[in-house]
Amino acid sequence: MVNCNPSRTPVDTESKLKTDGDLVFDPTLYRNLAGSLQYLTFTRPDISYAVQQVCLYMHDHREPYFSAHKRILRYVHGTVDYGLQLFSSSITYLVAYSNADWAGCLTSCRSTSEAEYRGVANAVVETSWLRNLLRELHTPLSFATRVYCDNVSVVYLSCNLVQHQRTKYTK
């Protein structure tokens, strides 16, 4: 892969990974490559989604998935000189966005209120942790955290603390 042609993106956005294809001859190589890519996501968050998608198929090591691994490697090879520049900022607020879809259903984009509510609850938990971390780093936030959600029923549920009959099974 040293002299490979670089890829502009880590994922082929035009097609989905298919469950057919020949089995990869060496499953150990497949798993080692997947583990190495997972380790690489610590310093390359831009490949996190692509690595997560190929790691969904660790139990079924087929050629299309191995090709997806190689595409990620070609992307990393082509972007090895890229970097992030972080500058100080005077922003003293934290914003979170939450959007849950129903099992990744691309055709209908359905979502349930419970899934959306859990997404908002997870966003609140994560931002609470971040606020505590910033406080420990002596960078307290002066404003409340804003959490945005695109589901009206979840906004109503979040504002009304009374447990209703229809939502009593929401965990």
| Whether pLDDT at 164 is above 70 | no
pLDDT by residue (tens digit) across 28-86? 888 899 999 999 999 899 999 999 998 988 888 888 888 899 999 999 999 998 877 77
DSSP annotation string for 40-84:
HTTT-GGGHHHHHHHHTTTTS-BHHHHHHHHHHHHHHHHTTT---
Alpha carbon dihedral 11, 82, 89, 144, in 10-degree steps, equals 20
**154 near 120, Cβ under 8 Å?**
yes
pLDDT by residue (tens digit) across 117-126? 888 989 999 9
Mean confidence (pLDDT) of the chain: 83
User: What is the model's pTM?
Assistant: 0.55
The Cα 117–Cα 158 span in angstroms is 8
pLDDT by residue (tens digit) across 125-145? 999 999 999 888 888 888 999
Q: List the single range of 51-55, 102-106, 112-116 with lowest mean pLDDT.
A: 102-106
Tokens of 79: 């972007």
pLDDT at 105: 56
DSSP annotation of 17 reads P
pLDDT at 91: 72
